[in-house]
Chain A
Amino acid sequence: MSVRQGLLALLAQEPMYGAQLRSEFEARTGGTWPLNVGQVYTTLARLERDGLVEAVGADEDGRISYRLTRTGRAEVAQWWVSPVDRETTPRDELVIKLALAVTVDGVDVDRVVQTQRTATLRHLQDLTRLKQRATTHLESDEDNGSVDLAWLLVLENLIYAGEAEVRWLDHVEARLIREASRPRRKARAIPTTDGEGTGAAGAPPAAHDTISTTLRGAQ
């Protein structure tokens, strides 16, 4: 998540000082990605250095507010119309763990899958409770509707991500069962250096090929 873009987008609404930016950012994302105030000030200093924001003076408590410059405004406008970069895949510990589990001897992969599925489901239950509360709040509260909506959307994103993870784990389990029942070399075996086996002509890709494809993007 780019803190820089987030702060710029908030400043497009009105001038704010550091602590205010931090609390606005957290309120709109439900505190899902907490910022420390030092991070906010460091980012503001860089934005000022790059000519994207400028100080508008201090209030009576000495807090300095910042506003966007013309260049800053253009940068925000550009951000809204640009897609988020999905080319570089962030490193995902679970994907790496499963990829290693199927290639390292002696790992109980079924147990790895089930342990994770239970934990993810438990997390999904927590998120669903939060969502129930957020939905009720959104329906009853008129003052802060857009912030409630933002929080609900963040929660729903986390719920869909959790659901996708469980579906993927179900898929891993089903594929391992299929691979185990195949009358040929086990897919779990570590590929040998003689170049034989896993890439046999006409054979569908083995489980570890699928997972390693995912990992290649996770630099």
Chain B
Amino acid sequence: MNSTAGNDPILRLDNVTRVHGTDSTAVRALAGVSLDVHAGELVAVMGPSGSGKSTLLNLAGGLDAATSGQVLIEGQSIGTLKGDALAKLRRRRVGFVFQDFNLIPSLTAIENVALPLELDGFRVGKARRLARLALELVGVDELADRYPDKMSGGQQQRVAISRALVGDRRLVLADEPTGALDSHTGEGVLRVLRERCDAGAAGLLVTHEARHAAWADRVVFLRDGVVVDSTGSAQTAEALLDPAV
């Protein structure tokens, strides 16, 4: 399903370490993690609480900074960016999907989806056109003028996915996106995420549920901040598991 294998990844984590605290209180939340997500690919990250899943996602989205190593989004290292430049890259290149949807209650669906574009200086008319297209792509354009409190959880999450991938944005970072939904609705959301990735987006999905992770092309297992195995790379897995190596 990885249609552009061999090209530069949309997201690259290169030997990323994140340490919280200093000296005697230092805790390594992530230790030397490397991971690529290409266009057309959905990668799931699984691990127990405290394994570093959220740290990884925050680093990938530029919400947190690596202690060492590099995070690259579409080839650009985000570690060197400061303040406005980082915020701009996030707004233009990265979309987040959270467990609790995070739509702005006083805005309609289309206004929510258009918002990142408007913040980025797009004219309202163009932002709305792109927002409508993004809603169409996940099959919820009929909800365009509805406010979040008039939508079901599944509908809100589809709108959130539209917002994550509106305009040129191709990287969607999803943190337990089905956590608040019933099983059938949650599956519908994963299907939409899968379809958007099949159509060329790059997705990183954090989940603790195997049934949901199974929608991904690759599943990466984190333990204590370290990648211990992956379903996509038997060679790496063997090397990691073989104590002789």
Residue A170 CB within 8 A of the other chain: yes
- Considering only CB atoms, which chain A residue lies closest to B217 in the complex? A125
- Label chain A's interface by main secondary structure: helix
| Bound Cα distance A118, B210 (Å) | 10
- Considering only CB atoms, which chain B residue lies closest to A125 in the complex? B214
| Bound Cα distance A114, B243 (Å) | 14
- Label chain B's interface by main secondary structure: mixed
| Bound Cα distance A115, B241 (Å) | 8
Mark each residue of chain B from 194 to 221: 1 if its CB lies under 8 Å from any CB of chain A, else 0. 1000000000000001110111110101
**CB-contact partner of B210 in A115, A120, A132, under 8 A:** A120
Could you tell me if A114 and B228 are in contact, using CB atoms closer than 8 angstroms?
A: yes
Mark each residue of chain A from 164 to 207: 1 if its CB lies under 8 Å from any CB of chain B, else 0. 00110010011000000000000000000000000000000000
Residue B237 CB within 8 A of the other chain: yes
Residue A63 CB within 8 A of the other chain: no
Could you tell me if A125 and B219 are in contact, using CB atoms closer than 8 angstroms?
A: yes
Distance between B193 CB and nearest chain A CB, rounded to angstroms = 12
Could you tell me if B191 and A118 are in contact, using CB atoms closer than 8 angstroms?
A: no
Interface, chain B (partner A; CB < 8 A): 46, 48, 191, 194, 209-211, 213-217, 219, 221, 228-231, 237, 241, 243
A-B pairs with lowest CB-CB distance, top 5: A166-B210, A124-B214, A128-B214, A163-B211, A122-B231
22 CB-based A-B contacts, threshold 8 Å: A108-B243, A114-B228, A114-B229, A117-B229, A118-B231, A118-B237, A124-B214, A125-B215, A125-B216, A125-B217, A125-B231, A127-B214, A128-B211, A132-B191, A132-B194, A159-B214, A162-B210, A163-B209, A163-B211, A166-B210, A170-B48, A174-B48
